[in-house]
Copies of this chain bind each other. A is one copy, B any other.
Amino acid sequence: MNPIESARLIEQLSWRYAVKKFDPSRKISAPTWDTIERAAVLAPSSYGLQPWRMYVIDDPSVRTKLRAASWNQPQITDASHLVVFARRVEITTAYVEDYIARTAKTRGVTVESLKGFRDMMVGQVNAPASLPGGSMDVYCARQTYIALGFFLYTAAALGIDACPMEGFEPAKYDEILGLRAQGYTATVLGAAGYRAGDDWLASQAKVRLPHHEAVVHV
Contact = CB atoms under 8 A, between A and B. Distances in A.
A214 B41 contact: yes
A148 B153 CA distance: 12
Interface in A151-181: 152-154, 157-159, 164, 166-167, 177
Nearest to A83: B215
A9 B159 CA distance: 13
B56 A39 contact: no
Interface of A is mostly: helix
A12 B1 contact: yes
Interface residues of A, number: 78
B106 A205 contact: yes
Interface of A: 1-4, 6, 8-16, 18, 31-32, 35, 37-44, 46, 48, 50, 53-59, 62, 99, 102-103, 106-107, 132-133, 138, 141-143, 145-150, 152-154, 157-159, 164, 166-167, 177, 188, 204-209, 211, 213-218
